[in-house]
Structure formats: C-alpha cells, structure tokens
Amino acid sequence: MLNAKITGIASYVPDYVLNNDELSRMVDTNDEWITTRVGIKERRILKEEGAGSSYMGVKAVNKLLQETNTNPDDVDLLICATSNPDYRFPSTASVIIHQCGLEKRCYGYDVEAACAGFIVAAYEANAYIKSGLYKKVIVVCAEKMSSMTDYQDRSTCPLFGDGAAAVLFEPTEDTSVGIIDGLFHVDGSGLPHLMYKAGGSAKPASHATVDSREHFVYQEGRAVYMNAVMDMLTSSKDVMARNNLTCDDIQWFIPHQANLRIIEAVGKRLGIDPSKVLVNIQHVGNTSAASIPLCMDENKHLFKPGDKLILTAFGAGYTWGAEYLVWG
C-alpha cells in the first residue's frame, strides 16, 4: 500500500502590492471598511504585459523543482487548478509543462473547482499515487484573480489577489503520513450566487455582455458567506469524525483564505484554538485555488513530522470539502 505525501512546496506572488489606500482611490471604499469586513490590508497584482496565470505557475513550479532537486524528466503528471486559465484552450497545464521543460514524460490537465481547487487536485494526485500509476505528481494552483475583478465594484474588488503555489506529491510506504482522507461535495444550485456570467458557451462574449460588465466575478455576499461557513464547518467536522479526531488532535487548521470573518467563524464553531488556525489573507487577499498552498508554503517552517492538518475550502458551484493529511 502506498500513500501520497508532500515532499515540497513553493510559491510565487507578484511584486506589485495593491494596498487599501490605493484601492480607495480607485473605488468608493476605505481601509477601515475593508479591514473590518474582510480582514485584508493588501493584495499582490500581476502587472507584466501579456502575462496570465501560467506566468506565476511557471515561477512556482521552477522554484519547486529547484528546492526539491527534482529532475524535470522525472515528473509524471502536473495538475493545474485554476479558475483563470490563460486560454479557453489549450490547458494552462500544457503551457506550464512546456515552459518548465517537463515534456519528456509528464502529462497534464486543468482542474476547475474554483476556490476548492487545491484540495480537489491534491486528492486526485493522491489517487494516482496510491494506484501506482504515477510516482511524482505536481499540483500547481495559479490564479490571476485581477483578470476577473471589477475595480468598479466596491463589494468584490477588495477581496482578490494574484498568486501561485506548487506542491510535489510522492509515494511513501508509510501509510501513517501523507493524505489520509478527503470529503468533497458539489451543489449546482449555488450557480446564481457566485459566477462569471458571460464568456462561456452558455453566454458567449458580445458587445452587450462587455457593456453590462458581465466578464467579472459576480457574488451575492450574504448567501456565499452563510454557505461557506456552514459547509467548511460541516465538512471539517465530518472528515475529523471519520478519522476519530478531536480539535486537540489537530496541530494545524488551514482554511481557504476567502474572508477573515468566515475563517474566524468556522474556527470558533469548530472549537479549535485560534493559534492553530493559519491565516495569511491580510497581505495576499483571496487567491482562490492558490490560497491554501500559499498559506502552507508561508508556514511550512512550523510543520513537524507527524503533525495532523485539516484543510478546508468552499468555492463557486457550490463546491466544497475538507482533507486530512499528516505531515511527512
């Protein structure tokens, strides 16, 4: 029997910092309003001309390969989780594979699970490795959220930032470490509350869709908040119960970095010590699928072998879930 364990994490965020003061000169908002409602002080924005999500994904993957001393020719599979692909086709994974020189043996594809993209893709990596099909799998989450952010909408533009993170999964015969369990759900009735209205096959781009500003994130904040809190809470409880875990057994709780109030509400209702809840939303904002691995990379110096981690996320669809892993 094999398990998939994390053997490396690397990340990349753009240099440009968009803070609340600058944002308040772009739209009717202010630092106090943003900080008290979502807990974000600044976010990173990709400014390079013609650069998409793959630009950041390539940076993260190359850093991962270097830090783990991994030969590009040994990588079997790359899964790219993104809601902001460079193109409708080809896949962003194919672009990253080419630019990182992984073509010799690496296959790749994109996963679109919105903000839950990392935990979904990680569980897929786990399945490939447990089956014995692949030995080295990279999950890269790359999100140029600024490309779908309406900087005239004061309710959504403070939320999002750009970034990417890459995680290497490899097999271990020690089944007490690595990804132990995961639990995932999808509820398509959430479609009207959190969506990108135009540009797909149901509503192709047109002068009318551009004029009505339908090529940006649309979110009904109250509905999303209530569902995010309840669904991340229940999925975390369920995966813990399935594995006979209490909050005392957990060393680190890493929720999707969507909104500080959501994170605090989930942690409080779960009953977990706030010191165990990892948060970095203050300086990177909501980076969608990249948020959990970005937070993990930033805090990996804290993780010790045997530490038990619960990851949970909620995103458009609605799609949500929780994952239990033991640090190897």
What's the CATH code of the domain at 258? Answer: 3.40.47.10
Per-residue confidence (pLDDT) for residue 301, from 0 to 100? 98
* Assigned token pair, 75: 């990588």
Q: Is 115 a catalytic residue?
A: yes
**Domain end call among 175, 209, 228:** 175
* Whether residue 285 sits in one domain with residue 222: yes
Per-residue confidence (pLDDT) for residue 84, from 0 to 100? 98
Which is catalytic among the residues 80, 115, 141, 157?
Answer: 115
* Whether residue 282 sits in one domain with residue 157: no
Residue type, 104: K
* Whether residue 186 sits in one domain with residue 159: no
DSSP conformation letters of 231-268: HHHHHHHHHHHHTT--GGG-SEEEE--S-HHHHHHHHH
Give the chain's domain count: 2
- Between CA 72 and CA 65 the distance in angstroms is 7
Hey, is 299 helix, strand or coil? helix
- Between CA 111 and CA 76 the distance in angstroms is 17
Per-residue confidence (pLDDT) for residue 1, from 0 to 100? 87
Which is catalytic among the residues 100, 256, 259, 295?
Answer: 256
Q: Could you say which residues of the chain have pLDDT below 70?
A: none
* Whether residue 189 sits in one domain with residue 133: no
Cα pseudo-dihedral 25, 216, 154, 190, rounded to 10: -160
* Whether residue 232 sits in one domain with residue 160: no
Per-residue confidence (pLDDT) for residue 136, from 0 to 100? 98
Contacts of 30 (CB under 8 A, 6+ apart): 20, 24
**For helices 53-67 and 92-99, angle between their N-to-C axes, nearest 10 degrees:** 50
- Between CA 283 and CA 43 the distance in angstroms is 6
Single out the residue of 297, 254, 7 nearest to residue 125, CA to CA: 7
pLDDT, one tens digit per residue, over 281-312 is 999 999 999 999 999 999 999 999 999 999 99
**Domain end call among 111, 145, 175:** 175
* Whether residue 32 sits in one domain with residue 162: yes
**For helices 291-299 and 117-131, angle between their N-to-C axes, nearest 10 degrees:** 80
Phi, psi of 74 (to 5 degrees): -95, -5
* Whether residue 100 sits in one domain with residue 133: yes
* Whether residue 190 sits in one domain with residue 88: no
* Whether residue 250 sits in one domain with residue 144: no
Asked if 313 and 140 touch (Cβ cutoff 8 Å), the reply is no
Which is catalytic among the residues 100, 126, 286, 295?
Answer: 286
Phi, psi of 137 (to 5 degrees): -125, 125
* Whether residue 242 sits in one domain with residue 295: yes
Instruction: Encode 4-63 in three state secondary structure.
Output: EEEEEEEEECCCEEEEHHHHHCCCCCCHHHHHHHHCCCEEEECCCCCCCHHHHHHHHHHH
Instruction: Indicate yes or no: pTM above 0.75.
Output: yes
Q: Is 286 a catalytic residue?
A: yes
Neighbours of 292 (CB within 10 A): 28
**Domain end call among 116, 144, 175:** 175
Per-residue confidence (pLDDT) for residue 48, from 0 to 100? 97
H helix or E strand, kind and range, residue 1: none
Class of residue 236 by CB neighbours under 10 A (exposed 0-12, middle 13-18, buried 19+): buried
Cis upstream peptide for 90 (omega within 30°): yes
What Å distances lie between residue 15 and 61, 147, 208, 258, 280, CA to CA?
18, 16, 35, 21, 17
* Whether residue 147 sits in one domain with residue 48: yes
pLDDT, one tens digit per residue, over 200-219 is 999 999 999 999 999 999 99
* Whether residue 249 sits in one domain with residue 140: no
Cis upstream peptide for 107 (omega within 30°): no
Q: Is 193 a catalytic residue?
A: no
- Between CA 21 and CA 85 the distance in angstroms is 29
Per the structure, the complete domain to which residue 226 belongs is given by 179-326
